Structure 1
């Protein structure tokens, strides 16, 4: 690295190198061809980008010849001097986007605006593009709001446009502005290409997005990520770390000492851990820096914007490889590691799983939980500390390799503290988690602090949230121990839920690091509480209102179906039309096993693959582990899915068909399923009606009988294409769908209400029999 006037390490193109150096563009190409040590670029789209620092290092003391000196240059001036001066003159001083609000300060106005942006408006603006592409637009706008000059220019352009002919221009302006800002701070660009995939229906819709984004405060960046996650149903490797967990990790890992630290995240997701560290420490603190590995280039840009919004200069990279597979190992550099790696994700190749490579023992081939943890530890400098989110079961799994790793972590003094967190903190997974704190030190504590905080948290919908009071209760116990080895006192609110276990005592419990196995204090939920009873009762009252609403909707249905029903003797009314499935739909079987086999799928892939077991209640559900690489998916583009496609079982046990949602666009057929896509010029048919028609008992029996007629249960395209379809007029189809869905919603409301009454009964029984009233 070279000495620069600020800490940025921007990305520049070959043309810009030539411009700053005052040479022709082919000269730069000649340098690269003739000198093997010329910097290696990174490609994004059609362009290659070089780190300015690597270019300056390579130019070094290469002097400019006397005849090429500019009037303001002295003899002995170097190309390095000229390039650096040219870049600084064009780009000015470092000015990362300043944070003015914390991420917890989102008001009701922000929430309403985000709700509007993520509602029907999102479908009208993105068209056939993915929801992630639309999310990128929103986050780019919030990011650009931090630069007043760029935002004023964009807002003026948005206000000046009027019709469809201005849509592409505005999208390009937004993408170009975001790309310029990103690469000024060393983040690989690519926003123009992503935003170019959006297909707004009208210019007014796109202008409304810009207007709503302009009303958001910068803390809304995380609010948008949360809203996307709750709607998209992401898997373990994709979802974002909840705010409460992120802030708790920052407070415990960084402590009261807010001096300059180097913070690293080995799986940076949306940059939330690094952003929280910047917010907690204060990004302008001298010596503070953040580095991270990001799973994909798209999320790299999101993470970069997120960190920049908090005033820090991110050093991020996305290699596509597992970090422990790197050929060269960097020297430890981090004071703090904060990481939420993917849960229980398998390294399918098992490469590097050898004794001697792993400091605390080779992880099992079954999952990578302890591979990620050890990768984090490997980045720590002496006296550095790591905070790693881990599945609770990693603390007491019976796997021999994991038990051996826990033993080594305990006996070496590396593990300091484990905190079991409340359940259901993540919207995308029910996996219970714990925070592990580890340290690289020559003077370990003789005991390990275990804290059971599962009873904390506030219920919000179907999730628990760690509020400020919950975090403070944990901080009051853990920080004194982590930073001063002060034991929890009897006055602490969490003292009954903590245990200090001597390192030598772990052998007797199979080296379990799960607080649940050690903390003996009586948990509030075991005793029952009036607050829990009241919360359950209030939920029942709310759900009773939902039942009333659903009952009213069902009562309002027109039950006079005579005019649109089936005539006598099973003959359809004259207005109905008879056809076949092949005439209505393009039927596409999934790829063959030779093109997409089991070995092509893994947890590390980016594109989900749909298998028969994912067809549940008319919808496609996500499964971890069933993904392929983007390169594989691109080779199989004809098997991609679009919204309102219907997926049917092709081979194996028959299941009812399911419909693809907008969030599942671009998912891939597996060999065992078929895709039904309505023909563009087919007769008028409502997709939901067709789905219900195919899922009806008579049609399911038709498909099962023909599937069973083969040696191995399977249904061919030709056979399925002959399935008879009877269609009433389109308005009658829609009326039927409304009626069926209304009754479905009514049944779901009654079921949810019945379930809530059961929970209220259980909470009341617990309170009356195990709580204060039931205590002898």
Structure 2
């Protein structure tokens, strides 16, 4: 019955004064029964952030307007007393309808929870609103009636998604793909018991930290502490609101950097669980001092093993981490990276490597892998390899997603392996998907950790032109040479610039 009513929109001439456009008869029935108007807030947010954006954003850029709108949704959900104050101000008959004034009130309302940086940001944005009718936005959001926290969280995700679309290629530095979030969060939470802390040292918009926090809380029945670090005051404020909308209201977020060896993150604290999608293949600002990390200094041109060693070093005894890495980290021929990779394997720090499909990110087709790490045990017996690179399907011309069933297959492979180990049984693996490999075989492959090296594809081929391992090694060498060529080009351009050429 409700499903049928949800498909019937109340006509404009039949809507009540408090009902926004798009209200269904299902929404009306839920409210009459004391429930929430499911979907009403989402419909209002869609109107405000898409079709009618130009009507309200004044002199703000579209992205800055979305920041203001997300802040309003956050206050409505998480700061009810402040929301009542803002709503009261917007309804005053003598209110001059100044968007600037109302957003200044909004800024002061969130300063205590989100910090001075977000308050300063909103105060700066208010200068560009002029006579924009922000009061109408407030009333429209409030007129959606009773809305639960889950719908507020959905509204926040929708606004962040639109923000991602607007920032274009920079979105790759801001968001983690949903498929990767689901895999990392569930893997790191599996078997959680007495987990007190979850940390993301490169928190982006908080999507990975909130998912991991929620998965751990669900697995063990109690909520852990959440913390993270990020680059830039604006992204940190967006992350704080996103986390709060998902129930992580007390997350401790601090400024961080694009490389962890700088030591700005969390004052060398340790954690039970770490999840992160750090920036890929970034150059270190300066050489890492010998002895700074457990397994040696990473090369200056690439911070991938700076991040991997950070995760291992910051784990408490019994702790586990899930780190998203570009595929090249698993088979790079760079001597420093190979040495670190070998030391991590021999020390028992690497538990599993899972290859995900290409094109998960909106802005790049790069292939990525999940490194499942643990507090070092001092010795390695075997490592699980899962090759999910052939899974997924295109949802657009450039982007691929994993279905829930495919994600479940990956997680089931990991759980079957851990169950076999606990029972002292040999893990059979699944053809074309998973295999447990003893450390002796990994040594023979010179510590290459790409699942493609160890998991047979299960597809017969009569004409094999080359061994996949050889092709992978060549690809790694070509990638490194390409990186060095770009560095050389940049150095030459700088020298030419000095002489005005």
TM tier, smaller: 0.7 to 0.9
1:196 aligns with 2:133: no
TM-score, normalised via structure 2 length: 0.74
Q: Computing the radius of gyration over CA atoms, which structure comes out larger, 1 or 2?
A: 1
SS at match of 2:432: helix
Are the counterparts in 1 of residues 421 and 427 from structure 2 also a CA contact under 8 Å? no
1:436 equivalent among 367, 371, 381: 371
1:152 aligns with 2:81: no
Q: Using a 3 Å threshold, how does the CA distance of structure 1 residues 115 and 512 change in structure 2: closer, same or farther?
A: farther
2:437 equivalent among 489, 498, 501: 501
Q: Which residue of 2 aligns with 1:335?
A: 272
Are the counterparts in 1 of residues 152 and 245 from structure 2 also a CA contact under 8 Å? no
Are the counterparts in 1 of residues 57 and 132 from structure 2 also a CA contact under 8 Å? no
1:410 aligns with 2:345: yes
Q: Using a 3 Å threshold, how does the CA distance of structure 1 residues 387 and 482 change in structure 2: closer, same or farther?
A: farther
Q: Which residue of 1 aligns with 2:252?
A: 315
Gaps of 5+ in 1: 1-106, 527-622, 628-651, 653-670, 673-711, 714-776
1:357 aligns with 2:288: no
Report the Cα offset of residue 424 of structure 1.
0.9
Q: Which residue of 2 aligns with 1:207?
A: 136
The structure whose residues are more often helix, as a share, is: 2
SS at match of 2:342: helix
RMSD of aligned alpha carbons: 3.7
C-alpha separation in 1, matches of 2:166 and 2:459: 33
Are the counterparts in 2 of residues 416 and 482 from structure 1 also a CA contact under 8 Å? no
1:469 equivalent among 405, 410, 414: 405
Q: Which residue of 1 aligns with 2:21?
A: none
Are the counterparts in 2 of residues 335 and 380 from structure 1 also a CA contact under 8 Å? yes
C-alpha separation in 1, matches of 2:131 and 2:418: 55
Q: Which residue of 1 aligns with 2:102?
A: 170
Mapping of 1:618-767 within 5 angstroms? none
Q: How many residues align?
A: 423
C-alpha separation in 1, matches of 2:264 and 2:176: 29
C-alpha separation in 1, matches of 2:441 and 2:245: 46
SS at match of 2:353: strand
C-alpha separation in 2, matches of 1:325 and 1:122: 41
Are the counterparts in 2 of residues 489 and 495 from structure 1 also a CA contact under 8 Å? no
Report the Cα offset of residue 501 of structure 1.
1.4
C-alpha separation in 2, matches of 1:442 and 1:319: 29
SS at match of 1:376: helix
SS at match of 2:84: helix
1:234 equivalent among 169, 173, 178: 169
Q: Which residue of 1 aligns with 2:392?
A: 457
Q: Using a 3 Å threshold, how does the CA distance of structure 1 residues 109 and 328 change in structure 2: closer, same or farther?
A: closer
1:73-123 deviation line (CA, Å, top 9, x unaligned):
xxxxxxxxxxxxxxxxxxxxxxxxxxxxxxxxxx87666555443336445
Mapping of 1:207-606 within 5 angstroms? 207-208=136-137, 211-212=140-141, 215=144, 217-235=152-170, 238-257=173-192, 259-282=194-217, 286=222, 288-312=224-248, 313-319=250-256, 322-326=259-263, 330-347=267-284, 349-351=285-287, 353-442=288-377, 445-461=380-396, 462-482=398-418, 485=421, 494-522=430-458
Report the Cα offset of residue 159 of structure 1.
4.2
TM-score, normalised via structure 1 length: 0.49
Q: Using a 3 Å threshold, how does the CA distance of structure 1 residues 468 and 411 change in structure 2: closer, same or farther?
A: same
Report the Cα offset of residue 327 of structure 1.
7.8
C-alpha separation in 2, matches of 1:322 and 1:210: 44
C-alpha separation in 1, matches of 2:199 and 2:95: 46
1:119 aligns with 2:119: no
1:361-387 deviation line (CA, Å, top 9, x unaligned):
211111111111111222111111110
Report the Cα offset of residue 454 of structure 1.
1.4
1:138-178 deviation line (CA, Å, top 9, x unaligned):
22122112133333333343344798752212211222222
Report the Cα offset of residue 272 of structure 1.
1.4
C-alpha separation in 2, matches of 1:306 and 1:329: 21
